[in-house]
């Protein structure tokens, strides 16, 4: 269901008023979150198990050690090291990476071929970790669910169903596909900025992030998959925004 641009913020404001919003200090803004971290971690665990079952992973020690070393530095810098993390290198040519709530980092061999150095690998993992820290999957699914629920509220009122129960039921259903929803442009920009923050904190060179996204942009847009493929590689605005952010930080 697609909602007119002006109506969705109003619906979300209504849902916030009903207690579904939380302030995220990493983003400096309120977020509508009706799914909790435990649900997300459980979904992450399931998605990871599915990925391992349906894809081939590299057993090459050097590749695995590289992803683990760079990934762990970024995860620590992102403040996510409170749990043990698992890392895997997937035998897929499309350059892609993902970081799943619950503690999982996956990188494809295609991405390892594309990055020119560990800094650029850190940029990708940092971007994906940014989505986790920003709770973007939960936010996306909360928005979609709430708009559906609020649009159906008249019907619910007629049937005597409580609004709170409706939100809760739909919220639990919704997490099943929450990790698969594409991120919005605003969320991509937030993940870019958090990503370079984590890189810098981890001792990597933030400017390499710009080179990485330029290289991604130079690729045929259809060649990369997952989150990296959904991030509008042709969108020069994103790179400009990131450059402006780096300049503002003196990086
Ligand atoms: Zn992204």
30 and 77 in a single domain? The answer is no
Identify whether 208 is a catalytic site residue: no
Separation of alpha carbons 39 and 102, rounded Å: 10
CA of 178 to the centre of ligand 1 (A): 14
CA of 196 to the centre of ligand 1 (A): 13
Q: Considering the domain boundaries, does residue 109 fall inside one?
A: yes
Question: Are the CB atoms for 93 and 109 separated by under 8 Å?
Answer: yes
20 and 46 in a single domain? The answer is no
b/e map of 20-39 (b: 16 or more CB within 10 Å)? bbeebeebeeebbbbbeeeb
123 and 197 in a single domain? The answer is yes
Q: Considering the domain boundaries, does residue 241 fall inside one?
A: yes
CA of 188 to the centre of ligand 1 (A): 5
Q: Considering the domain boundaries, does residue 46 fall inside one?
A: yes
Residues near ion ligand 1 (Cβ under 5 Å):
188, 191, 227
CA of 25 to the centre of ligand 1 (A): 19
- Name the catalytic one among 86, 92, 128, 190: 128
160 and 51 in a single domain? The answer is no
Number of domains in the chain: 2
116 and 89 in a single domain? The answer is yes
CA of 139 to the centre of ligand 1 (A): 14
Q: Worst-scoring range by mean pLDDT, 107-121, 145-159, 206-220?
A: 145-159
CA of 164 to the centre of ligand 1 (A): 31
Q: Considering the domain boundaries, does residue 198 fall inside one?
A: yes
Average pLDDT, the chain: 80
* Residue 250 phi, psi dihedral angles, 5° rounding: 75, 25
Q: Considering the domain boundaries, does residue 202 fall inside one?
A: yes
96 and 116 in a single domain? The answer is yes
Domain boundary among 156, 175, 194: 175
105 and 50 in a single domain? The answer is yes
62 and 157 in a single domain? The answer is no
Q: Is the pLDDT of residue 170 over 60?
A: no
79 and 200 in a single domain? The answer is yes
Residue bearing the bigger pLDDT, 39 or 132: 132
CA of 228 to the centre of ligand 1 (A): 6
CA of 78 to the centre of ligand 1 (A): 15
14 and 53 in a single domain? The answer is no
Q: Considering the domain boundaries, does residue 2 fall inside one?
A: no
Question: Are the CB atoms for 1 and 148 separated by under 8 Å?
Answer: yes
Q: Considering the domain boundaries, does residue 19 fall inside one?
A: yes
Q: Considering the domain boundaries, does residue 1 fall inside one?
A: no
Domain boundary among 126, 158, 175: 175
CA of 217 to the centre of ligand 1 (A): 14
Residue 120: its pLDDT value, please?
97
pLDDT, one tens digit per residue, over 2-37 is: 445 555 566 556 666 555 677 787 878 777 676 677
Domain boundary among 152, 175, 198: 175
- Structural domain containing residue 197: 38-134+183-249
Q: Worst-scoring range by mean pLDDT, 22-36, 49-63, 159-173, 236-250?
A: 159-173
197 and 142 in a single domain? The answer is no
Residue 8: its pLDDT value, please?
56
Q: Three-state SS across the chain?
A: CCCCCCHHHHHHHHHHHHHHEEEECCCCEEEECCCCHHHHHHHHHHHHHHHHHHCCECCCHHHHHHHHHHHHHHHHHCCCCCCCCEEEEECCCCCCEEEECCCEEEEEHHHHHHCCCHHHHHHHHHHHHHHHHCCHHHHHHHHHHHHHHHHCHHHHHHHCCCHHHHHHHHHHHHHHHHCCCCCCHHHHHHHHHHHHHHHHHCCCCCHHHHHHHHHHHHCCCCCCCHHHHCCCCCCHHHHHHHHHHHHHHCC
68 and 128 in a single domain? The answer is yes
Q: Is the pLDDT of residue 178 over 70?
A: no
Separation of alpha carbons 11 and 24, rounded Å: 20
Q: Worst-scoring range by mean pLDDT, 127-131, 142-146, 219-223, 238-242?
A: 219-223
């Amino acid at each position: 269901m697609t909602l007119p641009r002006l109506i969705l913020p109003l619906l979300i404001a209504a849902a916030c008023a009903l207690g579904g919003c939380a302030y995220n200090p990493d983003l400096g803004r309120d977020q509508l979150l009706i799914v909790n971290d435990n649900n997300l971690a459980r979904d992450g665990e399931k998605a990871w198990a599915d990925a391992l079952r349906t894809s081939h992973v590299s057993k090459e020690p050097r590749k695995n050690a590289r992803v683990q070393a760079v990934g762990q530095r970024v995860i620590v810098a992102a403040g996510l090291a409170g749990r043990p993390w698992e890392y895997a290198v997937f035998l897929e040519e499309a350059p892609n990476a993902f970081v799943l709530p619950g503690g999982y980092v996956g990188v494809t061999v295609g991405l390892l071929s594309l990055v020119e150095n560990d800094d650029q690998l850190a940029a990708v993992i940092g971007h994906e970790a940014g989505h986790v820290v920003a709770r973007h999957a939960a936010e996306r699914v909360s928005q979609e669910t709430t708009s559906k629920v609020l649009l159906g509220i008249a019907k619910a009122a007629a049937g005597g169903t409580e609004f709170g129960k409706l939100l809760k039921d739909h919220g639990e259903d919704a997490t099943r596909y929450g990790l698969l929803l594409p991120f919005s442009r605003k969320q991509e920009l937030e993940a870019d900025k958090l990503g370079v923050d984590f890189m810098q904190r981890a001792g990597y060179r933030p400017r390499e992030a710009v080179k990485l996204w330029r290289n991604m942009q130079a690729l045929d847009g259809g060649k990369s998959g997952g989150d990296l493929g959904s991030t509008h590689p042709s969108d020069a605005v994103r790179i400009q925004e990131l450059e402006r952010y780096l300049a503002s930080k003196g990086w």
